[in-house]
Structure 1
Amino acid sequence: MQVAGQFLATVGWLGLALIVSELVATGIYLVGQWLGYRLSGSQVVLVAGFRYQLAHVNGHWHWQRPLTSYPHLVALPPTDAKRFNYASICFSGGLFSLLTVIISLVTMAQVTVTFNLWLMVVVIWIWVNTLKAGQLLPMMLHGRPTGALDFKTARASNAALTAAYVTQLAAATTVMTGSVATLPVDAILMPTGGDRQNYLVVRQAWVTLQWGLQHGLQLPDLLAGLDRLAPSFNTLPPADLAVYLDATIYWNLIANRPGAQLIGWYQDAGAQRLRQRYTPLTQYKLQAVYTWRVDHQAAPALALIDRGLIQAKRVAATTEIEWLKALRTKIQTSGKD
C-alpha cells in the first residue's frame, strides 16, 4: 500500500507539473507574441485563453466565454501596411519560448540534480517550452498552422502577404465592432496574381464575402467568386477548411442551390466533426438552413436559430446575430407564402 501511495503521489505531482508548465509556458508564448505585435506597430485587441478571453469591444475591455477557444492574441495591424512585419508576428512567441528553454538548460547545467521527481519536473518544463517554441503543441491540439507555415505561405506571393494583412485587419475589426462592415473597400479587393490554393488568399475570400453581404452586394456574384477559388482540401489547414466549407454550404443553401456536392459535404461525418470543432457558433445557422431547405422543417430550424442567438450574444458576435435574425425572418416569411 505504501508503494502504491508513493506511486500515486509521484504521478499526481508530475501531472500537476505538466498542467502548470503548460499554463506558464503559454503565458510566456503570449508575452512574446504581444511584444512582436507591438514592435510591428500593432495594437492587441483580444487575449484568448483556453476557455475565456478578454476582448476590446466598442472601446472597452470585456470578459467573454466563447464556445471554443485556444490561447492566442488578435491585434489591429498598423495603418501603414509597410510597417506590417509578419516575421515578428509569426516568430516572436516561439522566440520567447526558445529563450526560456535555453535559460532553463543553462540553469540546470549549473546545478547538480539527481534523478528524482524534481528532475522529471524540470524535464517536463523544458519539453513543454520546446513544443511551444516550434508551435508543435498548438498545432497538434488545435489543427492550426504554425507560425513558420504562416510565414512560408505569406511569402509565396504578394497577394498572399496582402491577404495576411487584410485577414489580420478583419479579425481585429470583428473583435472590436462585431463585423467587417467598417473595412474600407480597398482592403477587401482580392489581389491578382495569387495562388488560389493559398489558404491566406482563401481567408481573404471569406472576408470579401462577409463584407459584400453586409454592404448589400449580390449573393450569386459573391458566391461565384468563392467558388472560383476551388482550393485543394489537402492544402488547407483544418481550421481554414472548416470555415471554407461552412461558408460555401451555408450561403449556397440560403441561395436555394442545394447541390449534391454541398449535401455530401454537409452529411460527411469527418466534415461535420471539423466544422463543429472550428466553427461551433456558425453551426446553429448552418443546421437551421439545412433543416429548412433540405428537410423542409421550419419549426426545428427556428429552434436552432434561437439557441444560436443565445450563444452569439454571449460573445457579442454582431454579424452572427444579424445573420441569424435574417434567416429567422426568411423562414417565417416563407411559411406565410
Structure 2
Amino acid sequence: MNPLIALTLGATLLACVLVIAGVHVYLAGRAQRAALIARLASDGAPEPAGRRRRFPGVDRRLRGTALGRRIERKLAVTGLDLTPPGEFFVYMLMSVAGIWLLAASFLAPFFGPVAGLVGVWAAGAFLDWQRARRTERFINQLPELARILANATQAGLALRTAIAMAAEELEAPAGEELARVADRLAVGHSIEESLGEIAERLPSRELVVLVSTLVLSARAGGALVGSLRNLTVTLEQRKETRREIRTQLSQVTVTAYLVPAIGLGSLLLVNLMMPGALDRMTGAFLGQSAVLVALGLFTLGFVLIRRLSKIDV
C-alpha cells in the first residue's frame, strides 16, 4: 500500500476516534450539568409533599436562557407552588393559546393575536401582583416582627438568635424569609448582607427602616430595644394608615378594571346583535386601525386611573 494512502487513512481514523470521544465527553458533561442544575433547584426550592415536578425537560432548557432566569427570579418572591420556571412557562403558553382561540371564536380572527399579547402581559402582571400581595402581607407582619425582636433582645438574646426565634414563631411570608436569613447567618454571612437580601426581594419603606435599624445596631451598638419599641408603634400607625387609604381608594380601583371590561363587553354586544359585524369591521385596514386605537385608549385609561390612585405612604 502506498505510504501516503496509509498515512491518510490513519489520520482519518484517528480524527474519527477523536471526534467520537469529543462528542461523548460533551454529552456526558451536558448531562452532568443538567443533573446538577436540577439537583440545585430542588435543594433551593423544595417541592410540596406529594407534588411531582412537571415538564422537567422544558425547565432544564429554559433555565439556561435569560427569560428563564427572569421568570425564576420573579417566581422566587411570589410564594407560588410553581417553583420551576418551565412549569409556569408551559401553563402560560397553554393559557395564551386558550385565550387566542376564545377571542378568535367569539369575536373575530383579528382579535386572536391581540388577545395572545394581552395574555402574555397578564402573565407578567400576575407575577407582579403576587409579589405585591406577598410584600403587603409581609409589611403587615412587621409590627409583630419588631415586637418579637425587641422582647428577645430585652431578654438578653443575640440578634441572630432573635431572628431565628422570630422565624419559628411567625407565619409565612415573614417566617419563610427570616428562616432564609437565619440559614445565611448560620453559614457565615453578615447581618447586613442577609437582611439586605430581604429588602431587595420584598421592597418597602417599612422594611428598609427595620433593616437599617438592625444593621446600625449590630454595627455600632446602641439602645436596640428602645429603637424597636418605637419602631413597633410607628409600624402599627403606618399599617392603619395604609388600610384606610386602601379602603378610600377601593372605588377608584374597581373603576380602573371596569374601563377595559366595558370595552370588551361592548364588542361582545355588537357581535351578538349583528353577527359577523366584527369580521367585516376588522377585514379592512381602517377598521383594524380603529380597533387598535380604541384598545390603546382603553389601556391608557386603565394605566392613568391606576397611576392616579397609587398613593405612597
TM-score normalised by structure 1 residue count: 0.26
Computing the radius of gyration from Cα coordinates, the structure with the larger value is: 2
TM-score normalised by structure 2 residue count: 0.28
In terms of fraction of residues, the more strand-rich structure is: 1
